[in-house]
Chains A and B, each alone.
Chain A
Amino acid sequence: MITTDNLTKQYGETIVLNQLNLSIGANEIYCLLGANGAGKTTTINLLLGFIKPTSGSAFINGLCVSEDYIKTKQYLAYIPENLMLYPTLTAVENLKYFSGIGGKNLNKSQSEDFLNEAGLQKNAFNQRISTFSKGMRQKVGISIALAKDAKSLLLDEPTSGLDPKSSNEFGQLLHKLKDNGVSILMATHDLFRAKDTGTHIGIMKNGELRQEYATKDISLPELEQAYLEAMNYKELVS
């Protein structure tokens, strides 16, 4: 369960996130759409506790992030836009390391199972990350999240730079996680992926959540129209 309660972040006079209220339950994928600077990454950073809110609160599994910084991480997995791993370590070694510091020690066979589940080719398991493409690195990141067995997943532009096939595989994997009861918040620019993957969509602008939809209630053209209107791209709307 991912919740925010009037979550606000302000730098000096600039409000980068204004009274955000979100509630993402189990079996839900909430896609945050918005242009650069809309407040998507700030929301994720606040949920991770990397930055402190000016006012309001963020909750993971009912625990306040500001108050239980370390404990909330037990229920949380995170995949950043550019997932960076250790180039001199293999995929298995990276997975074992990150899972270990997340509190779950894996053996080689378990690690390989998670990498397999994340869709990484078997011949890449014991290759050094320095030889991996971005898509392959993202898959290792997913395997870290899978291994953590977290109840909440935060994704910051996870499909940016991925080829369509990898992006599609990634979407399928998210569905699988959702079906297993995971709450997922995904920040993205990709309307198509949001419509295809999400259960809910929120459109943000200037730090505010302008509109919310259930994906089953809106078609892709309608979503595109709503997004462009929200962004105030009048010439494109016409």
Chain B
Amino acid sequence: MIRNVFIKEITEFARDGRVKIAFSIVIVLLGIATWISSRQYNSTNQQYAVAKSAERSIWNNQGEKNPHSAAHYGTYAFKPKYPLSLIDQGVDKYAGTSIFLEAHNRNEAQFSLAADQTGLARFGDLTPDFILLFIIPLLIVLLGYNAFTKEREMRTLVLIRSLGIAPWKLILGKWTALFLPILVITIVLIVSAGIILSNLEDFGVFKWSNLGILFLVYICYYIVFVNLVLIISSKSKKSSISLVLSLAIWIIACLVVPKAASNFAEAKYPYPTRQEFSANILKDKQEGLDGHDPWNKQAKLLEQKVLKEYNVDSLHQLPFNFDAYRMQKGEEHDAEVYFKQYKYLKSQFEGQTNVYIGLAAFSPFLPARFLSMGVANTDYSTHWDFSDAAEDYRIKMQAFLNNDFAKNSSHGNWSYKAEETTWEKLPAFEYAPPQLAEILSKNSSNIIVLVTWLLGSFAFLFITIKI
């Protein structure tokens, strides 16, 4: 019986011109979006490879130079595009791709794609995740809104009821027929993306397991929509009412709740303005040791402490360059200040994330969106991770340079120049994004919410539907 219902529904879909047009549009859009995304992915990663190699070469070939000059000369930490960004670009466009690493300052990531675009970028981009998260649920609405209402309107439901089919079999037949085209589209996209990625050079090591999880996330998301649309269709008297209600659900889930969540999260856990943030950092820095200022109160205390520790009367008697030592201590203080201020930012970010998770009870879009970005390594959490890794590298880099300066020169000797070969001894910045297990663990709340939506909608569909 389920098979009969399934075949009938699929035959009707296949003969319905509207369905054919909608399906074709989605396939064409997905093809174009994947092509654009793939070109962008390739181009960005080629730029990444060139920039990374060029920057390292510039660093290695500085020639003889004072290590602190080298610290100010600085270098860049570049973030590549990770393989699954081909499907979900997440916040990559806004988050910046490179961080300038220098003495005394933790810099923000810069050169974001959005910064290079005009105001027209506000219209958004045609990306696979846009099709997957917005357009396919809309396709589900268009395919399924009249699944039951058309039977009621055509009065075929009377004959169906007289034949004694169990309601759950009819539902399952219709459910399968509605879900199958969506499953096919998703499989085609995911397999195409997998094949493209397997044949492209990538900087995050493409894994089919990650792609498989991404596929599952989207499939769960679509199942929730299929269930919701069928529930609405079964409860509505007319197709027009069912269409309006289904579209309302789509608008609320995909547009209203995410935007409302953004406003609500920002209001509840506001980020400081850039000015406030910079002022807080400056204030904290001034309360501590300034590595460049020997007359600073904390610097004087450090001087006394070191003299006492080494049991000498003069800084010149120390076995190392105290200026470099002080700068290193200043760097350590600065790092603590940045750690404290960024920790506050992170706590605000986590607060905002929790607001999103709470509001996910009103929209399956939110957990699906966060999981998709997480698995694709394009979420804000991955960006934080990259930023932290870059900061960690910056701290080690400053320690390396200050130690070289301290060890190889004496107090007051600012004319010291490190050898040409010194720079290549500093290991290059390498960053590995969080692995799948860690991502899933971090997103456990989103997984729970999405699974709750999945099971809840299934239960509601099969328990409440009467034909």
Contact = CB atoms under 8 A, between A and B. Distances in A.
A77 to B, nearest CB: 8
A37 interface: no
A100 B4 CA distance: 6
A87 B8 CA distance: 12
Identify the interface centre among B5, B163, B170: most chain A CB within 10 Å of its CB.
B163
A150 B408 CA distance: 102
Contact of A48 (B3, B16, B154, B161): B161
Nearest to A48: B162
Contacts of A103: 1, 163-164
Contact of A73 (B8, B162, B169, B170): B162
A70 B159 CA distance: 14
A70 B165 CA distance: 7
A85 interface: yes
Contacts of B161: 48, 50
A102 B164 contact: yes
A132 interface: no
Nearest to A69: B164
Contact of A88 (B4, B12, B163): B12
Interface in A67-83: 69-74, 76-78, 80, 82-83
Contacts of A80: 155, 158-159
Contacts of A125: none
Identify the interface centre among B11, B154, B158: most chain A CB within 10 Å of its CB.
B158
B15 interface: yes
Contact of A85 (B3, B7, B16, B156): B156
A154 B156 CA distance: 16
B166 interface: yes
Given A74-B164, A78-B162, A86-B12, A97 B4 contact: yes
Contacts of A196: none
Interface range for A = 20 to 34
Contact of B159 (A72, A84, A96): A84
A76 B163 CA distance: 8
Identify the interface centre among B158, B159, B170: most chain A CB within 10 Å of its CB.
B159
Given A82-B155, A83-B159, A84-B155, A72 B164 contact: yes
Interface in B1-54: 1, 3-5, 7-8, 11-12, 15-16
A71 B158 CA distance: 17
B465 to A, nearest CB: 15
Contact of B164 (A73, A87, A154): A73
B121 interface: no
Contacts of B154: 84, 86-87
A70 B168 CA distance: 12
A101 interface: yes
Nearest to A84: B155
B195 interface: no
Given A76-B162, A88-B15, A89-B11, A96 B4 contact: yes
A101 B4 contact: yes
B224 to A, nearest CB: 27
A123 B196 CA distance: 50
B225 to A, nearest CB: 25
A45 B15 CA distance: 33
Interface in B124-173: 154-156, 158-166, 169-170
B266 to A, nearest CB: 50
Contacts of A102: 163-165
Contact of A89 (B12, B166, B170): B12
A105 B159 contact: no
Nearest to B155: A84
Contacts of A77: 162
Contacts of A78: 158-159, 162
A190 interface: no
A101 B15 contact: no
Given A93-B11, A103-B1, A86 B164 contact: no
A71 B154 CA distance: 26
A98 to B, nearest CB: 6
B156 A105 contact: no
Contacts of B155: 80, 82, 84
A144 B162 CA distance: 11
Identify the interface centre among B1, B15, B164: most chain A CB within 10 Å of its CB.
B164
Contacts of A101: 1, 4-5, 160, 163, 165, 169-170
B134 to A, nearest CB: 29
Interface in A97-118: 97-98, 100-103, 105
A80 B162 CA distance: 10
Contacts of B160: 98, 101
A27 B229 CA distance: 47
Interface string A56-75: 00000000000001111110
Nearest to B167: A70
A220 B447 CA distance: 74
Contact of A100 (B3, B12, B159, B166): B3
A48 B162 CA distance: 6
A50 B161 CA distance: 8
A72 B158 CA distance: 16
Contacts of A93: 8, 11
B16 A98 contact: no
Contacts of B4: 96-97, 100-101, 105
10 contacts: A70-B164, A71-B164, A83-B159, A84-B154, A89-B8, A89-B11, A93-B8, A97-B7, A101-B5, A101-B170
Interface of A: 48, 50, 69-74, 76-78, 80, 82-89, 93, 96-98, 100-103, 105, 141, 144, 148, 154
Given A78-B159, A97-B5, 11 more contacts: A70-B164, A73-B162, A76-B164, A80-B159, A84-B156, A88-B12, A96-B4, A97-B7, A100-B1, A101-B1, A101-B169
Interface of B: 1, 3-5, 7-8, 11-12, 15-16, 154-156, 158-166, 169-170
